[in-house]
Structure 1
Amino acid sequence: MWLCPDVLKSIQNRSILICILMLGAFPWCSAVAQTIDLEFRDSLAFENESNADFENPSETDAAPFEQLIEEGRSHTATQPPVSTVNQQLTGASRSSRAAKFSERVAAVSRLSRPVGGGGNADEGIFDGETVQDRPVGIQLGSLRLTPSFDAGLGWTDNAEQANGGTPDGFYEVDAAVGVVSNWERHELGLELRGSLRAFFNEPDNNQPVVTGRGNVRLDLGDLTTADIDGVYSFSREERSSAENEASTGRTNSVQEIGGRFSLNRQVSLVQLRGGIGVDRAVYGGQMSSSQPRDNTVFDATLRTSFDTGAAFEPYLEGGFLVRKYDQDCNSDPSCFDRTSRGYFVKAGVSVDRGPKLRGQFGIGYRAEYLDDDRLEALQGLIFDGAFVWSPTRRDTVTVSGATSFSGTNISGASGSILYAGDARYAHQFTQNLVGDVQFGYTYRTYQGVDIVEQEGSGSFGLVWAFSKDAALLSRYTFRAFESSTPNSNYTSSLIEAGLRIRR
């Protein structure tokens, strides 16, 4: 499960650039810090003593931040829907746009959202956003629109993201619009986003990504709610993936469509959540295999959590699923019937210690038993969860993990299991200058064949808001990919900078 020595050496050499950037920023940040009083949480109280070397921050020092919270409460309590932590982690490899730090914070907040709504606004938590250009939206009756547009230029030493890749420059655009409701009861949230990373020398390496998601919450009573969620995404498969069937030209397109209906009910100290869902994957483009891999997963789940009023809330979750492939073998002996039925069980704990620490973690087991006796069961350990820790008003840390099961058409393989995790840290140098550091790792194993894929990544970014509607963005990203498939290993460095406009 470890990256080979050559890749580790490459990571070490290329990480020098990140160190130079950070060391170069420290003296300037130190000068800025001398003019800014640190604002610790009220829970970290200190008493002024005659022999102490520090003083409590004054009320006026904290006033700008507290005023921001009060002014922003009216328009941050309801936010456009963001992808779940699982979607952010398991779908990041095919996306040219990584999830923003604030999206991760919002996704973790939703994990602990109580019956009856709320839970999206974590007062006092720094969400990685700059203050001056914080979006307020455009009010249209009882709906609020939050448009945004990013554009920039960049360069990478591996445009193909594959073994033997070539350097190339690119331009990138990212446009999005969110819609949220401002109703006394119920809640509506929609978001549509499209991005394109277009390379100058080779258009076949372009990375288009389109996502759309929506959520409707129906308040059926004080202790009963219903949620309807939908999601759509379009992207292109990575060239180095074992699933990629396009040896030349553009890689295959991947479309994912999903929907879920869930019912939540609070009964005394027990919260029940049951739901049914459907997730469909459609692949297009060049197909070297005779067996398509388009498939649909239907599932039914039930979760029981116990709210005892303590900071730790245990939960149990389980469900059944059916994976159906579009192709019917029709007694063809060369065809693998990968239609499967399975289950999963999981136990975990939610943590809610106010704005200081919040999140949940669960561990369990999942199994899919395929109709074709020649194929092994797709089964293994599962874990997922995410935590947000905010030690001070200017610092926030998120740690996340997720497991994903995917179908395949690789001969002899039942499917693949992806384990993904990352850690992110954001710091507010000033109200309009924010930096973040991210590290991630993924491990994919294929059941029935000897194929293992690993990837390590790291990035460092800065955002400077210079007006109420605009900010400058910059980021450096390094990736190292290793696969048991011959001639698939690669490393890549990417530098990008651009302008963000939002309302």
Structure 2
Amino acid sequence: MLEYFMWLLRGFLKSIRGRSILTFVVMMGVFPLYQVAAQSIDLGFRESFAFEDDPSVDFQLPSEADPQSLDQLSEEGGQQSSVPSFAPTIRQQLAGVSRGGRAARFSQRVEAASRLSGSSGGVIADEGVFDGETEQDRPDGFRLGSLRLTPSFDAGLGWADNAEQAKGGRPDGFYSVDAAVGVTSDWDRHELGLELRGSLRAFFREPDNNQPVATAGGNLRFDLGELTTAELDGAYSFSREERSSAENEAATGRTNPVQGMSGRFSFSRQVALVQLRGGLGVERTAYGGRESGAQPRDNNVFDATLRTSFDNGAMFEPYLEGGFLYRKYDESCHGEPSCIDRTSRGYLVKTGLTVDRGPKLRGEFGVGYRAEYLNDNRLDALQGLVFDGAFVWSPTRRDTVTVSGATSFAGTNIDGASGSILYAGDVRYARQFTADLVGDVQLGYTYRTYQGIDLVEHEGTGSLGLAWAFSKDAALLSRYTFQAFGSSSSDSSYTSSLIEAGLRIRR
């Protein structure tokens, strides 16, 4: 694994030297065009260039030596609100969508990681932790009674040297669109957060390579007392299967769509220094499109969990979690000898630590073991090590680092395999060069192993991004992404580089 990571890093750096120049040229070429348009069209853009037009304006970044800087910036339109927004969980961000989907925004990673320690992203921002967002176009949203709506729309152009994301794939250009709307509550008690998002990367030469992704999620928290809360969570995702995946059944044309749906009810109660949290959840995975002669993969997973944590006021708080689960496939065998009964029952145990050292370091990490025992004794148990968690580290007011990891178990219909286990992790770093110029770097790695057969898939990713807010509602975006996918099966490994630049509008 170490040798593979070093090979990936060398390939990423080599690709950056050649292809990131194109990204820089695109960004630098587009900036003047937008500046001319902003100065000539009355869309509220003119004020955003006051710094360039008036060299006497003295702009200073917030610094550690000036604790009032961020407060003053908030009054001028920067960190304007501490109302937390909805963010997918770490597991959903790392393992919830296909490789064609956009990575979660850096601010969503900060939000989700900080929630693990019992804090919200809005509070983190107010305490001076940089959340990866540009200031001038930070969304205010629209008020709708006690709710706030925050719409956004991205559009851009790009080029990929491997549009199929498969061995021998051809290069192609594409256009991309991404639309989203978030809903957050502003209530004295309880909390509501929703987000709907849809994106499409459409290639010019071959539409079968198009990558549509849709996600929806929400969280509703009820404050039943000072020490008692109840929560309802739900999520939905739509994407297409990766062409190089061992699960892919479409040799030509479009790959099969994959839909994921989940819901969970949880109840927590503080008893002295002990916090108890119980939950009931269901998670469904459904596949459409063409099917081979194998059994359908559609299945549901039901689980019940109980978590005990010790809230002793220290910066390190241990916890212990356990639960039972039941996986049921839509198609049952009904006693047919040739049918494999993949229904399973299992358990999960996990222990870990929650860390809260104020705004500088927050998060959680846990390790454990999960096992699913299938009804058909011709298949091995689906079992393995589990690790989950994320940390937010803020060394300065202008730099933030997130480290995240998640484990996901999935069913399969591959002959001889009882399922797969996906280990995913990444490190992301964001830097605020100026209030309206932000850059980020991301390195990620995933490892999927199939139990019962000798099949392993692994993928490394590297990404460089730049965002420049040139008005109170708009920003220019640029990103370069490198992927290296490997598989123990033949004719599946590939590398891919992608460059894109576009415009983001949000309110």
TM-score, with structure 1 as normaliser: 0.90
Give the alignment of 1:64-463 within 5 angstroms: 64-69=69-74, 76-113=81-118, 120-122=122-124, 123-463=127-467
Correspondence for 2:468: 464
Deviation at 1:214, TM superposition (A): 1.1
Q: For residue 98 of structure 1, what is the amino acid of its counterpart?
A: A
Q: Distance in 2 between matches of 1:21 and 1:428?
A: 22
Name the CA distance, whole Å, in 2 between partners of 1:280 and 1:242: 20
Distance 2:227 2:76 in 1: 29
Cα gap change, 1:91/1:471 in structure 2, threshold over 3 Å: closer, same or farther? same
**Which structure 2 segments of 5+ residues have no match?**
26-57
Per-residue Cα deviation, 1:231-259 (whole angstroms, up to 9, x for no partner):
11110010000000000110000000100
Is the CA contact 1:155–1:168 (under 8 Å) kept in the aligned structure 2? yes
Q: 1:148 Cα deviation (Å)?
A: 0.4
User: How far does residue 170 in structure 1 lie from its aligned partner after superposition?
Assistant: 0.4
Partner deviation per Cα, 1:329-378 (whole Å, 9 max, x = no partner): 12222221110000010010011011100001000100000000000000
Change (3 A) 1:126 1:21: farther
| Counterpart contact for 2:130–2:398, Cα < 8 Å | yes
C-alpha distance 247-23 of structure 1, shift in aligned 2 (>3 A) = closer
Distance 1:359 1:5, change over 3 A: closer
Paired with 1:301 and 1:203, the residues of 2 have a C-alpha distance of: 43
Relative to structure 1, is the Cα distance of residues 359 and 499 closer, same or farther in structure 2, using a 3 angstrom cutoff? same
1:69 and 1:382 map into 2 onto residues whose CA distance is 41
Contact 1:396–1:425 (CA<8 Å) still a contact in 2?
Answer: yes
Residue 68 (structure 1) shift: 3.1
Q: Whole-Å Cα distance in 2 between the matches of residues 447 and 129 of structure 1?
A: 41
Deviation of 1:17 after TM superposition, in Å, equals 3.5
- Distance 1:9-1:431 versus aligned 2 partners, 3 A rule: closer
Distance across 1 between alignment mates of 2:82 and 2:5: 46
- Look up the SS of the partner of 2:224 in the other structure: strand
Deviates more, 1:13-22 or 1:299-308: 13-22
Report the Cα distance in structure 1 between the residues aligned to 2:231 and 2:472, rounded to whole angstroms. Answer: 35
Label 1:72 to 1:334 Cα distance change in 2 as closer, same or farther (>3 A). Answer: farther
CA contact (8 A) 1:154 1:170 kept: yes
Deviation, 1:5, is 9.0
Tell me, yes or no, if the aligned pair for 2:23 and 2:501 is still in contact at 8 Å. Answer: no
The count of residues paired between Structure 1 and Structure 2 equals: 473
Matched position secondary structure for 1:161 = coil
Q: Any stretches of 5+ residues in structure 1 without a counterpart?
A: 25-34, 42-56
- RMSD of Structure 2 on Structure 1 (CA): 2.2
Deviation string 1:121-173 (CA, Å, 9 cap, x unpaired) is 20210000000000011011111100000000000000000011010000000
Q: Distance in 2 between matches of 1:367 and 1:93?
A: 25
Paired amino acid for 1:100: R
Task: Please give the secondary structure, in 1, of the residue aligned with 2:358.
Answer: coil
1:476: which partner in 2? Answer: 480
Distance 1:38 1:75 in 2: 17
Could you tell me which residue of structure 2 aligns to residue 53 of structure 1? none
The letter of the residue matching 1:325 is: Y
Query: What CA distance in whole angstroms lies between the structure 1 residues aligned with 2:477 and 2:271?
Result: 47
The offset of 1:64, in angstroms, is 4.1
What is the identity, as a one-letter code, of the residue corresponding to 1:82? A
Q: Determine helix, strand or coil for the equivalent of 1:416.
A: strand
The question of whether the paired residues in 2 share the 8 Å contact of 1:7 and 1:491 is answered with no
Name the % identity. Answer: 71
Confirm or deny: 8 A CA contact 2:310 2:317 kept in the other structure: yes
Q: Would the alpha carbon gap of residues 325 and 495 (structure 1) be closer, same or farther in structure 2, given more than 3 Å must change?
A: same
Q: Deviations over 1:12-42 (max 9, x none)?
A: 5324347868999xxxxxxxxxx9767554x
The one-letter amino acid of 1:121's match is V
State the shift of 1:289 in Å.
Answer: 3.3
